[in-house]
Amino acid sequence: MDDRMLRRRVYGADHEDPDPGPRPGRSYGELVGGPLDGLLLDITGWSVHRLAEEAGLPTEIGRYGAGGRAHYRRRSGDPGHWDWTGDSR
């Protein structure tokens, strides 16, 4: 992991966690666009099939507020980035 990634927050980390960044030995993808832009998604242990699917991530800061989901899909040709595809309820 490079220094820029070490300073990033991982999606789902507790806001009161004194170290909400990535952990050694884990795999991450960067979320690009939408309400979760810039966060890291922990994809450690995900199967090839799961990595090919769209990830619907619960969030309160998307278009639909509490109970909504922000959807991200792994970027073709650049698997380290996950692009926002929209929000849903």
Q: Is the pLDDT of residue 47 over 80?
A: yes
pLDDT for 49 equals: 97
Q: How many domains does the chain have?
A: 1
Q: Burial of 82 by CB count in 10 Å (0-12 exposed, 13-18 middle, 19+ buried)?
A: buried
Mean pLDDT of 29-52: 97
Rounded Cα gap, residues 82 and 52, in angstroms: 11
Q: What is the pTM of this model?
A: 0.88
What is the extent of the structural domain holding 63?
Answer: 3-88
Backbone φ and ψ of 4, nearest 5°:
-65, -40
What does each C-alpha distance from 36 to 11, 25, 48, 58, 74 come to in angstroms? 8, 23, 23, 10, 14
Please give the single-letter amino acid code of residue 20.
Answer: P
